[in-house]
Amino acid sequence: MTKLQISDVTLTFGGLNALTGVSITIEPGLITSIIGPNGAGKTSILNCISGFYHPTEGRILYGERELSNASPHQVSTIGIARAFQNLELFRGLSVLDNLLLARHQNLRYSLFHALLFFGKASRLEAENREYVEKVIDFMELEPYRKKMVGNLSYGVQKRVEMARALTLAPKLVLLDEPMAGMNIEEKEDVVRFIIDLKMEWDITVVLVEHDLGVVMDISDYIYVLDFGELIGAGTPEEVAADPKVIEAYIGEE
């Protein structure tokens, strides 16, 4: 399994430093959380990993592979998928179509095959559908399979967003606030999904989440950001006891 190494990454927008010399190691097979107050740079880190931003300085390595200047498309083909905080789904398509569409990069058949829908075309489509169905089963989306995404409740849409990332069959998945705006029951479900991802699908999880209760409960390792700088790292117990972290969250006495 592959390790993701972020070394000394700085990201600047004009005069603004979104990230300053951040070094993070994502160990394979674990749930690693990145927490911090609003504007701390959590999503910027994810954007750097997934190729939406390129770090101004520093390197990002996935195994031997250099990701610092890779495009989102390239990142997704090497097994890193991402679920967005603000849903990036086609609201006018069904859940099933959204998920099938996410696997379009696996469709490598010609227009000729597509028109007649035989041989490779029908075989690949069947394989894709089978994989998508596995994800639907895993994320318990059966009741919504043929429903239009735009008509679903927010909690379910978030689940579809996570499912869309999983249909790429990633080795590492970046979850950007998968539980935001959910009620307690929906959160419990998502927590279960995340743990099962790690335990049963052997997927490495990078979690950005505001619900500290959840983060402390399920993370193997936590990084804490504040104003673009790494201010703490460690196991949940270590982070909870770190005075710098407490200060960033609660403020000075």
Q: Shortest approach of another protein to residue 4 CB, angstroms? A: 25
State yes or no: residue 192 binds another protein (CB under 8 A).
Answer: yes
Q: Which stretch binds another protein (CB under 8 A): 72-80, 153-161, 164-172, 185-193?
A: 185-193
State yes or no: residue 143 binds another protein (CB under 8 A).
Answer: yes
Report CA torsion sign: 187, 151, 91, 38: negative
| Residue found by looking up tokens 């609201």 in the block | 91
Of the candidates 237, 225, 235, the residue with the CA atom closest to the CA atom of residue 37: 225
Of the candidates 221, 215, 213, 212, the residue with the CA atom closest to the CA atom of residue 194: 215
Choice from 8, 27, 66, 142 touching another protein (CB under 8 A): 142
Cβ proximity of 41 and 12 under 8 Å: no
Number of residues this chain uses to bind another protein (CB under 8 A): 18
Phi first, then psi: give them for residue 189, nearest 5 degrees.
-60, -45
Choice from 57, 97, 133, 220 touching another protein (CB under 8 A): 133
Q: Which two tokens stand for residue 237?
A: 């117990």
State yes or no: residue 247 binds another protein (CB under 8 A).
Answer: no
Q: Which stretch binds another protein (CB under 8 A): 41-49, 60-68, 70-78, 136-144?
A: 136-144
Cβ proximity of 89 and 164 under 8 Å: yes
Task: Provide the binding-site residues for another protein, judged by CB under 8 A.
Answer: 129-130, 133-134, 136-137, 140, 142-143, 145-146, 184-185, 188, 192, 196, 199-200
